[in-house]
Each structure stands twice: as C-alpha cells, then as structure tokens.
Structure 1
Amino acid sequence: MLIVDDDPSMGRLMADLVVAGGGAVCDIAGSGEAALDTLATVSCPDLVLLDVNLPGIDGIETAHRMLARWPALRVVLTSTEALADLPADLLDGGVSEFVPKVELGPDRVGALLAG
C-alpha cells in the first residue's frame, strides 16, 4: 500500500494500521506530487490510501491523475472531514471509496486490503 498524507505522524499511524491489518507499506508520501513520483518509480502498490486535503495537488486531483495513468489501481480517499462536507465529485473518476480517518483501524484497513 502507498499512503499519502501531509501530516507525517498521521502517515506513520496509518502505516502502523496497515501492518496491524496484515498489509505492507511500500512508501509514505507527503503530497500528491510525491505520490505520483512514487507510483512512477515503484511497482509495488495496488492500493493507495490518499488524504483528500493535501498541499499542492489535492487528493481528488491526485486520485484522478493516478487512475488516468494506472486504471487498475485501487484508490481510497480519506479525511478528517465528513463526507457531506467534501466536494460532491469526491468519488468520481474511479475512486474505490471514501473512509473517514476516524474509522481507520486495523479491522477496517484489513478489509480494505482484502478488497
């Protein structure tokens, strides 16, 4: 899994949850640009856990760019904000789902990894 979050402590926490859920983390990127660079050079992730609110290219645009180039990639958007408070086009363009950060625990991450 590739984790994308601009808060380093949140990125590490999500990485710990992935490992606790039975998965492996290939990288933690702090921006959409860094995530796109990682995907261009590393072939391991089939799942990306992507924060909606990122500096530079936001998570929604990052997801659209990822899926345009790697259509088989599963992208799960996450945020501290409720779904109702986020843009209506959040799940457009092939995004797999949205999971509020408050719901991310080992069981939920394990379910994401299972597909």
Structure 2
Amino acid sequence: MTSPSAVSVLVVDDQRPFRMAVRAVVRRAPGFVLAGEADTGEAGVAAAESLRPDLVLMDVNLPGIDGVAAGSRIRDADPHTVVVLCSTYGKTDLPATVATSGMDYLHKADLAPAVLRALWERRTSDDD
C-alpha cells in the first residue's frame, strides 16, 4: 500500500474509456493515487496481489472470471482491501451475486471525486 495519506486505487475494467475516466477522477481527487489498471478479472487479482491497493474499482462483467469472483479473491487475500463493484446497469438489473457479495456497488455514471471519497470513508469507518 502507499503512504498513509494517499489511497491507492486499482481499476479493473475491460473498457478502456472507463479506465481513462477513472484515471481522470483519481487525478482530481485529493488524497487518491492510481496504483494500476487491469482489463480482466484474472489480471485484476494478479495486480492486486502485486500492487496491494487500498481500493479496487471492479467492473461486474469482465472477460474470464467476473468482477464478483475476482473481488472475492482479492478480499480473501487481503481483507483490508476495499472492493467496489461498478457497472452501467441499475441495481435491479445486476446479477444476484452482486447483492450477496458484501461489496459496495457504484453506477459508473456516478463516479466523481466526492463519490470516491465518500465510498472510501464509509467503508473505512465500517472497519472501526
């Protein structure tokens, strides 16, 4: 993980435009830094193992293993890593596994620096 003052973010999404959008949001979010990117579930798990990010923004639908399975593997390896599942689907259209995963969900259109901060603060305050 990075210095205590910076929240390191890994983005896992097979859509390059969304990864670029996350990059831009992270750059505009004080206290956050982009740790890395991956475009499949397996690559996301491997990146999380090597980069040890604080926060992972994980697409639900990925080539190979899906975001729920990849997110579960990441959290099993490091329970302190916060995994947030992302999609363009509304909550009612998501696979049932998203609701039962214990991971937060973020609609991709809602991603913004303030939302990133709020997700991080809510999840880390849950650990207290």
| TM-score, normalising length: structure 2 | 0.81
Cα distance, 1:92–1:69 mapped onto 2, change above 3 Å? farther
| Letter of the 1:28 counterpart | E
Deviation at 1:66, TM superposition (A): 1.1
Deviation at 1:51, TM superposition (A): 0.6
Deviation at 1:54, TM superposition (A): 0.6
The CA distance in 1 between the partners of 2:37 and 2:51, in whole Å, is 12
Deviation at 1:90, TM superposition (A): 0.6
Aligned-residue CA RMSD (Å): 1.4
Which residue in 1 is equivalent to 2:75?
67
Instruction: Answer yes or no: is the 8 Å Cα contact 1:67–1:93 preserved in 2.
Output: no
* Larger RCO, structures 1/2 (Cα 8 Å, 6+ apart): 1
| Letter of the 2:121 counterpart | A
Which residue in 1 is equivalent to 2:45?
36
Q: Which of residues 78, 82, 89 is equivalent to 2:86?
A: 78
Deviation at 1:73, TM superposition (A): 1.0
Instruction: Answer yes or no: is the 8 Å Cα contact 1:48–1:75 preserved in 2.
Output: yes
Deviation at 1:63, TM superposition (A): 1.0
Aligned pair count reads 113
Deviation at 1:2, TM superposition (A): 0.5
- Structure 1 unpaired stretches of 5+: none
| Letter of the 1:25 counterpart | L
Deviation at 1:6, TM superposition (A): 0.4
Which residue in 1 is equivalent to 2:3?
none
Deviation at 1:112, TM superposition (A): 2.5
- Structure 2 unpaired stretches of 5+: 1-8, 123-128
Q: What whole-Å deviation, never above 9, does each CA across 1:56-90 have from its counterpart, x for those lacking one?
A: 11101111111111111110011001110011221
Q: Sequence identity of aligned pairs in percent?
A: 35
Deviation at 1:15, TM superposition (A): 1.4
Cα distance, 1:48–1:99 mapped onto 2, change above 3 Å? same
Q: Which of residues 3, 9, 23 is equivalent to 2:17?
A: 9
Q: Which of residues 112, 116, 119 is equivalent to 1:112?
A: 119
